[in-house]
Amino acid sequence: MSDIGIHPISGALGAEISGIDVSRDVDDQTLGLLRRAWLEHLVLFFRDQPLTPAQFLAFARRFGEIIEYPFVKGLEEHPEIIPVVKLAHERINFGGVWHSDTAYLDVPPMASMLLAREVPPAGGDTLFANMYLAYDALSEGMKRLLADLSAVNSSSKADASRTREDRIAERGRADARTVYEASHPVVRVHPETGRKALYVNVAHTVRFDGMTEEESAPILAFLYRHQIRPEFTCRFRWQPGSLAFWDNRCAQHNAVNDYAGHRRVMHRVTLAGDVPSGAARGA
């Protein structure tokens, strides 16, 4: 425990963890330390963790129940692990748009873990944004407007669906539904911290409940711009063996597509979450 270091990488969110080998059994005291750090910093980064698939899954299970991604099949021997790949000839990358993972599910995931296997010589970073700060920075009038609103999220929104086309063509699940759609509070209350977070994203959110897309568009467009202001973000540069662990309930991410002609191979694990709950007006 005394060897573990927690090093914030920006003023908004993100901390790099040193002094730990997660391939070994993580005891309860260390697990508690990591979870507290995760809840405080929203995304944790670990370097030099060349985990086997079995070790990766064992570490993930210490934090929650692993669930499978609805559109793409996992590894043959470890179906819970999704390969996130961009080949050298491909132009569009998987997840290359600001989003919270699978917000179109009735029960979206609590968290995701991403492990770097092969990275380009430069580029391929991932951006993260703090949705607590995005909510806190809104005017009181906007907070009142959003307090009782829910938003419809769909898996079919064009910008997001394009980013998964290559992987579906390669490893698409036969049991996937054509469209997944769910309505969630625009202002989400985190079940562990009690803090309010902005819970809409440009990749999946279509409109507000009870409104048309045209009526919703101006406010959503403002929120999409607002929630990724530079002062709410951090940027992580990958190396082989780097591991990121983020909280989908209060953070968004965006995989930067700036490495044309190079491969990028990652492994992703997703952890089960809960039905999002909102806050009553004035709470």
Which residues are catalytic, by number?
99, 101, 253, 268
Indicate the DSSP class of residue 62.
T
Give the span between the Cα atoms of 37 and 5, in whole angstroms. 10
20, 23, 84, 21: which is closest to 53 by C-alpha? 23
Give yes or no for a contact between 183 and 211, defined as CB atoms under 8 angstroms apart: no
- Cβ neighbours of residue 96 closer than 8 Å, sequence gap 6 or more: 163, 254, 255, 256, 257
Give yes or no for a contact between 108 and 100, defined as CB atoms under 8 angstroms apart: yes
Indicate the DSSP class of residue 72.
B
Give yes or no for a contact between 22 and 51, defined as CB atoms under 8 angstroms apart: yes
Strands (E), the chain: 5-8, 15-18, 43-46, 66-67, 82-86, 111-118, 126-130, 150-154, 181-185, 187-189, 196-198, 205-208, 233-236, 243-247, 251-255, 264-271
Q: What letter represents residue 144's amino acid?
A: R
Based on its alpha-carbon atoms, the radius of gyration of the chain, rounded to whole angstroms, reads 18
Residue 99's Cβ-side half-sphere holds a number of Cα atoms within 13 Å equal to: 25
63, 9, 19, 3: which is closest to 41 by C-alpha? 9
Give yes or no for a contact between 262 and 121, defined as CB atoms under 8 angstroms apart: yes
